[in-house]
Amino acid sequence: MVAGALVCAGYPLLPDGGLTPVVVYNGFGVLAFAAVVAGIRRHRPAAARGWWVFAAGLISYVCADVVYEVSGLVLGEHPSPYWDDLIYFSAYPVLLAGLLMISRGRGRREPAGLIDAAIIAAGAGLVFWVLVIQPTLGEQGIPLVQRLVKAGYPTFDVLLCAVVTRLISRPGPRVAGRWLLAFGCALNFTGDVVWSLTDRDDSYSDTLTHSCFILAYAMWAGAALHPSMARIGHRAATVPRFRRGRLLLLGGVTMTAPAVLFLQGARGEVINWPAIGVGAVLLFLLVLTRLAGFVGQTQRQAAELEELAMRDDLTGLANRRRFELRLRAAVAAGSPQVCLLDLNGFKRVNDRHGHAVGDHLLVAVAARLSSELPGEGLLARMGGDEFALLLADASAAEGDAVIDRLAGALRRPFAVDGHELLVSAAIGVADGADPVEVLRRADVAMYAAKTSQARFRRYAVELDDRADEEARLGAELRSALDAGQFHLVYQPIVALPDGRIRYVEALVRWGRRSPAAFIPVAERNGLIVELGEWILRAACDQFVAWQAGYGDRAPERISVNVSARQLAEPGFAGVVADALARAGMDPSSLIVEVTETAVFGGGVAVAAVEELHRMGVRIALDDFGTGHSSLGLLQTVPVDVLKVDKSFVDNLALAGRHAVIATALIQVSDGLGLTAVAEGVETAEQAALLHDLGYRFAQGYHFGRPVSQPAFDGVEVPAR
């Protein structure tokens, strides 16, 4: 390109006539062709076929130049028309076809860009027709063929103008090679315009046009050799925007008809009404078509945006907004059935396998629910792991049948990322005449299903009473915790057979209320985290006080119950470590009791238990034998103490399966080196039988009820 600029600058200095200007000019055209071929072979562009067609047009153009120059040297003049005109007219279509193919590349068709190019061509064509072509065709004393040839070049210039516009406006990467190609076309167009408007035999005109053509060759050669030429024609990543520059360009082109009209009037010429009229109508139709396309595109994009705004990104289901809009319409037309589904155990999946697996599980759940609802109602994801179903025309019986089918579908395991995952759902159903109230009722029913472990619940008025009671109790819990109304009691865990207190279990009390009434509420509303931390700190402080006051008669260890909600809290092990440090208590003196349900799902809960165990805290598995997979947990959870559930102790004296299970559990404990504690011992006979089976620790009302201050002087076990 630099060489082209130097040649262009030095070309006017060459002597007129002779062979040197001819060799320089045409030699540079051949070099430009060679550069284009080299660039195609080196960079392998996306629109390679278009580049080869462009190269063929370029060498044809150079051949026409050679014929033109040689004929001038041989004949002493440049006859017109002549063979060079025929070659030029053959080269132009090939050159233009190559440029079109390069501009389009392998991308999708863009009608808007074609219309823009047509508008530019129509405006330029009107100007050329009125100012150049028609005057040329109307010249007197010149043969018709010569006039047609002379008018042919501006015609091709109009097409070249359209192609350049298309090349620049085509969506795609705005790389250097693309601009060089466009500038080369613009320079070639300029050279043609200068040649068309001046005398063909004028040496100054020849020098100026040749300089434009040399620079055009240089630009095309630079475009082909530039590495970015390989990216010209790549598919655009985004839909092109209708920018202000394009708007100004098209708006200016539409003014060509009145501009030509004023120009002819100002020059005192006869106004070419037919040409201006046809041009104005054509421009109007093209602009109208472009506007219609723009409006249509805007409407399509608006519809797509509306669809996206109404759809859940992850699952592709309707989102809450669409569901609520459809619910309002359904309520206005009748009394629809609304079903809310909340997945049980989804948090454990996220904790154990990560959020990516959790997201894939949600997609799988959405797909399975959709497959169970072919054309029935509207299924939506309301957020998180909550889904909703709207049945606009179903009766209560039909709604129950559909929901029963969905609940059955969710019982089958999901294969997600190499994992077999089991989830269930708490499902609430409601109907009503107000959309907000229907959703509230369904939510209340879903909450009742979750707390009662029912397959699904249909809303009833009494559920509101329970919800109100729980909300009131939750508020009282908050106030009681702030006011310090909770206190601890301690139940002995004794050694068999002498009944001496070895450990104590700390239990929380709140006035005359049963823990079975307020602990589940605290777990559901999250207060169990704060309450549990208070229990832990108070128990550690009391244990240290007993150690200081009773010495050898004090209990060896104290156990504290920990809920699944506490284990799932980030940093729970740190809370325990801080409580031990503040109290000055040895970690091995603390037993943390967890249920099988709390650690069954693994994940954060098991990680917290493992961290506690590494600190030296002993871990007890409470209510052992009644959970999901007790023996399996002994392989995955670090356990020191097994607390055998009361259900295996109650009927121990009757022999049979309970005695067999109790025997098996003590054997498992001994085999694994664990401490077994029998819970719920209420009679001396049970204590004796347990001792005979091999149990060395027991707990129950027979040895002492939970009290604020146990008697550490020893408890005698009555004789059998």
Domain-located, residue 194: yes
Q: What are the tokens at 215?
A: 């620079």
Task: Give the range with max mean pLDDT: 253-267, 318-332, 363-377, 529-543.
Answer: 529-543
SS3 14: coil
Which is nearest to 382 in space by CA: 327, 330, 422? 327
∠ CA 293-295-301, nearest 5°, is 100
Residue numbers of the domain that contains 672? 481-698
User: Tokens representing 253?
Assistant: 């082109």
455 and 567 fall within a common domain: no
Which of the given ranges, 27-31, 96-100, 323-327, has the highest pLDDT on average? 323-327
Q: pLDDT class for 300, splitting at 50, 70, 90?
A: confident
d(CA 410, CA 303): 34
Domain check: are 126 and 224 in the same one? no
pLDDT at position 103: 74
Most confident by average pLDDT, 96-100, 170-174, 237-241, 676-680? 676-680
Q: Residue 706 region, left (φ>0) first, then alpha (ψ -120 to 50), else beta?
A: beta
Residue 513 shares a structural domain with residue 576: yes
Q: What are the φ/ψ torsions at residue 418 (nearest 5 degrees)?
A: 85, 5
The predicted pLDDT at position 717 comes to 36
Positive or negative CA dihedral for 352, 356, 359, 364? negative
Domain C-terminal end among 397, 426, 459: 459
Dihedral sign, CA of 434, 439, 442, 444? negative
Q: Are residues 452 and 351 in the same domain?
A: yes
Q: Are strands 590-595 and 618-624 parallel, antiparallel or unpaired?
A: parallel
Establish if 709 belongs to a structural domain.
no
**What band does 634 get if pLDDT is binned at 50, 70 and 90?**
confident
Which of these ranges, 10-14, 235-239, 309-313, 426-430, has the smallest mean pLDDT?
235-239
Question: Which carries the bigger pLDDT value, residue 160 or residue 519?
Answer: 519
Q: What is the mean pLDDT of residues 562-582?
A: 90
CATH number of residue 622's parent domain: 3.20.20.450
Q: Read off the pLDDT band of 173 (50, 70, 90).
A: low
The Cβ-side half-sphere exposure at 365, using a 13 Å CA radius, reads: 28
- pLDDT given for residue 273 in this prediction: 77
Query: Which one-letter amino acid corresponds to residue 561?
Result: N
Pick the closest to residue 686 from 657, 647, 630, 713 (CA basis).
647
- Amino acid in the structure at residue 538: A
Q: Is residue 134 part of a domain?
A: yes
Q: What is the pLDDT of residue 715?
A: 41
Mean pLDDT of 381-402: 88
| pLDDT over 90 (residue 586) | yes
Q: What are the C-alpha distances in Å from 587 to residues 556, 568, 583, 584?
A: 12, 21, 11, 9
201, HSE (Cβ side, Cα atoms, 13 Å): 6
The SS3 assignment for 138 reads coil
Residue 681 domain flag: yes
d(CA 700, CA 514): 17
Higher model confidence: residue 498 or residue 270?
Answer: 498
For residue 635, CA distances in Å to 602, 630, 675 come to 12, 9, 16
Asked if 659 and 531 sit in the same domain, the reply is yes
Single out the residue of 23, 12, 33 nearest to residue 73, CA to CA: 23
Comparing 68-82, 112-126, 464-478, 516-530, the range with the smallest average pLDDT is: 68-82
- Average pLDDT (183-187) is 82
Are 367 and 449 in a shared domain?
A: yes
Percent of the chain with pLDDT over 70: 82
Q: Determine the Cα–Cα distance for residues 472 and 474; give it in Å rounded to an integer.
A: 5
Burial of 450 per CB tally in 10 Å (0-12, 13-18, 19+): middle
Identify the DSSP state of 236.
Answer: P
The rounded distance, in Å, linking the Cα atoms of 347 and 345 is 6
Return the number of other C-beta atoms located less than 10 Å from residue 269's C-beta: 12
**Contact between residue 376 and residue 343 where contact means Cβ atoms under 8 Å apart:** no
Secondary structure element (H or E) that encloses residue 182, with its range: helix 176-197
| Mean pLDDT in residue range 76-85 | 69
Cβ contact 272:134 at 8 Å: yes
Residue 313 lies in a domain: no
**Residue 371 covered by a domain:** yes
Q: Residues 361, 423: contact at Cβ < 8 Å?
A: yes
| Mean pLDDT of all residues in 660-685 | 88
Q: What's the mean pLDDT in 702-712? A: 90
The label of the residue with tokens 């043609």 reads 192
In-domain check, residue 629: yes
Q: How far apart are CA 523 and CA 477, in angstroms?
A: 11
* 123 shares a domain with 101: no
Last residue of a domain, which of 304, 328, 355?
304
Q: Are 91 and 61 in contact (CB under 8 A)?
A: yes
**DSSP string of 553-611, one letter each residue:** GS-SEEEEE--HHHHTSTTHHHHHHHHHHHHT--GGGEEEEEEHHHHHT-THHHHHHHH
User: Tokens 């504690």 correspond to what residue?
Assistant: 677
- H or E element at residue 446: helix 435-452
**Given a cut of 50, is residue 125 above it in pLDDT?**
yes
Cα separation, 406 vs 454, in Å, equals 14
**Residue 287 neighbours by CB under 8 Å, 6+ apart:** 119, 250, 254
Per mean pLDDT, which range of 90-99, 506-515, 528-537 is the poorest?
90-99
Does 249 have pLDDT greater than 50?
A: yes
From the list 647, 650, 643, 682, the residue with the least C-alpha distance to 666 is: 643
Which of the given ranges, 6-20, 74-88, 220-234, 375-389, has the highest pLDDT on average?
375-389
Whether residue 712 lies inside any domain: the answer is no
> Is 90 exceeded by the pLDDT of residue 509?
yes
Output the pTM of the full model.
Answer: 0.49
Q: What is the pLDDT of residues 17-63, one digit of tens each?
A: 566 777 777 787 888 889 889 988 888 887 888 889 988 988 888 88
Question: Residue 347's pLDDT is what?
Answer: 76
Mean residue pLDDT across the chain: 81
**Residue 617: pLDDT above 90?**
yes
pLDDT band at 263 (very low <50, low <70, confident <90, very high): confident
- Together in a domain, 588 and 693: yes
- Residues 78 and 35 both lie in one domain: yes
Handedness of CA 261, 264, 270, 275 (dihedral sign): negative
CA distance 687 to 681: 6
Residues 102 and 175: their CA atoms lie apart, in Å, by: 13
For residue 718, is pLDDT > 70? Answer: no
**Across-strand partners of 429?**
339, 458
Q: What is the largest CA-CA distance in the chain?
A: 144
Domain check: are 347 and 362 in the same one?
A: yes
* Alpha-carbon gap, residue 609 to 134, rounded angstroms: 94
Both 206 and 255 in one domain: the answer is no
Instruction: Tell me what percent of the residues of the chain surpass a pLDDT of 90.
Output: 22
Q: What is the pLDDT of residue 627?
A: 53
pLDDT, residue 45, reads 84
Element spanning 488, H or E = strand 486-495
- Take residue 242 and report the two structure tokens written for it: 């209708």
Higher-pLDDT residue of 204, 92: 92
pLDDT at 274 over 50: yes
The answer to whether the peptide bond before residue 143 is cis (omega within 30 degrees of 0) is no
Pair 116, 96 in one domain = no
* 518-556 per-position pLDDT tens digit: 988 888 778 899 999 999 999 999 999 999 989 888 999
Region of poorest pLDDT, from 99-108, 487-496, 618-627: 99-108
Q: How many domains does the chain have?
A: 4
- The answer to whether residue 225 scores a pLDDT higher than 60 is yes
At residue 502, does pLDDT exceed 90? yes
Residue 716 has pLDDT above 50, yes or no: no
- Which amino acid, 332? A
CATH code of residue 432: 3.30.70.270
> Is 80 exceeded by the pLDDT of residue 508?
yes
Residue 352 has pLDDT above 70, yes or no: yes
Per-residue pLDDT at 720: 31
As a whole number, mean pLDDT of residues 328-335 equals 87
Lowest mean pLDDT of 328-342, 455-469, 645-659, name the range: 645-659
> Is the bond preceding 81 in cis, omega lying within 30 degrees of 0?
yes
Tell me the C-alpha to C-alpha distance, in Å, between residue 402 and each of 264, 398, 433, 654, 679. Answer: 79, 6, 21, 46, 44
The arithmetic mean of pLDDT across residues 341-356, rounded, is 82
Name the least confident of 127-136, 278-287, 693-702.
127-136
What integer pLDDT is reported at residue 139 of this predicted model?
Answer: 65
Decide: residue 14, CB within 10 A, 0-12 exposed, 13-18 middle, 19+ buried: middle
